[in-house]
């Protein structure tokens, strides 16, 4: 699969480069969920590598094909880089790496949980890449581990249900929070998904029993947030909030969908 991000043609467009990074991270973290679904269908697991670099590409279109063909030196380099990524990992070329470092792209959360590390290649392979540095994008595995006895003790100490609520629309956020709180639930509500993820990461993995997430949110959407939360605690229950538009009445209604 090949992804091209035309908006990165402006090297000062921080949001465009952030999309590239988020795409790579989300694909890596989606693997466990994908394989879980494959196992349910009695299919074998799948592993993959992701590579990314920066440069111009040429686009070729054919009247007999609905797909565009991309070619150019950077495409060749991305193909070579891919083989140097760890299984289920990300390899980034020097061109993209230096652009990412030229501005403070990573939020404080991502700096804590992800880091770039130079890929050390054998001497004979360095000539193949013309001494072109490569970097791996890795996730710091510094979350605190809790034993089964710790989890049981925490459950005994508190019989309440803790809910993480995230929605970028403040009026909806307030309505849901007040309704849940009136039923006796402990609710932590956030309008900013990145702020919610930061708060969640600092809590014990078993603290929250449920996360209620809006799907359409700027910066980090509900699906991307889902994979981040699952990466920290696979047992967290997820409830998605979506919206349906009625074209005839021009009204909008909310619907929910659970995802374990």
The pLDDT value given to residue 119: 85
Burial string for 145-184 (b: 16+ CB within 10 Å, else e) reads: eeeeeeeeeeeeeeeeebbbbbbbeeebbeebbeebeeee
Three-state secondary-structure class, residue 1: coil
CB 148 within 8 A of CB 208: no
The pairing of strands 114-118 and 58-60 is unpaired
Give the rounded percent of residues in the chain with a pLDDT score beyond 90: 15
pLDDT per residue as tens digits for the range 128-149: 677 788 988 876 654 433 334 4
**CA-closest candidate to residue 191, choices 176, 206, 210:** 176
- Range 10-35 average pLDDT: 84
What domains can be seen in the chain, in order of their start residue? 6-139 (3.30.70.1230), 148-259 (3.40.50.2300)
Q: What is the pLDDT of residues 178-237, one digit of tens each?
A: 888 877 789 999 999 999 999 998 888 788 989 999 988 988 899 999 999 988 888 889
89 in Cβ contact with 50 (< 8 Å): yes
Structure tokens at 41: 């269908």
Phi and psi at residue 235, to the nearest 5°: -90, -5
In the numeric block, which tokens belong to residue 134? Answer: 């490569």
Q: How much is the pLDDT for 172?
A: 86
Output the average pLDDT for the chain.
77
Mean pLDDT along residues 90-116: 71
**How far is Cα 129 from Cα 215, in angstroms, rounded to an integer?**
41
Token couple for 90:
């990300």
SS (H, E, C) 79-124: HHHHCCCCCCCEEEEHHHHHHHHHCCCCCHHHHHHEEEEECCCCHH
CA dihedral 187, 189, 194, 195 (to 10 degrees): -90
| Rg of the chain on CA atoms, in Å | 21
Longest CA span, the chain = 67
């Amino acid at each position: 699969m090949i992804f091209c991000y035309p908006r990165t043609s402006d090297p000062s467009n921080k949001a465009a480069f952030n999309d590239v990074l988020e795409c790579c991270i989300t694909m890596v973290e989606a693997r466990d969920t994908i394989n879980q679904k494959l196992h349910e269908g009695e299919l074998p697991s799948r592993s993959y590598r992701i590579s990314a670099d920066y440069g111009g590409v040429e686009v070729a279109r054919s009247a007999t094909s609905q797909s565009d063909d991309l070619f150019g030196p950077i495409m060749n380099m991305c193909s070579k880089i891919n083989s140097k990524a760890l299984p289920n990992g990300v390899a980034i070329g020097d061109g993209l790496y230096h652009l990412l470092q030229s501005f403070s792209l990573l939020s404080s959360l991502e700096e804590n949980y992800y880091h770039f590390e130079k890929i050390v290649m054998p001497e004979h392979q360095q000539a193949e890449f013309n001494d072109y540095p490569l970097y791996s994008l890795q996730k710091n595995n510094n979350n605190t581990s809790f034993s089964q006895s710790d989890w049981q003790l925490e459950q005994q100490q508190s019989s309440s249900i803790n809910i993480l609520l995230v929605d970028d629309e403040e009026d909806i956020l307030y309505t849901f929070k007040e309704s849940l709180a009136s039923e006796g639930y402990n609710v932590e509500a956030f309008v900013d998904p990145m702020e919610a993820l930061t708060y969640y990461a600092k809590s014990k993995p078993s603290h929250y029993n449920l996360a209620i997430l809006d799907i359409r949110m700027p910066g980090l959407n509900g699906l991307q947030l889902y994979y981040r939360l699952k990466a920290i605690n696979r047992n967290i229950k997820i409830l998605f909030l979506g919206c349906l538009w009625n074209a005839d009445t021009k009204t909008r209604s909310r619907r929910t969908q659970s995802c374990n």
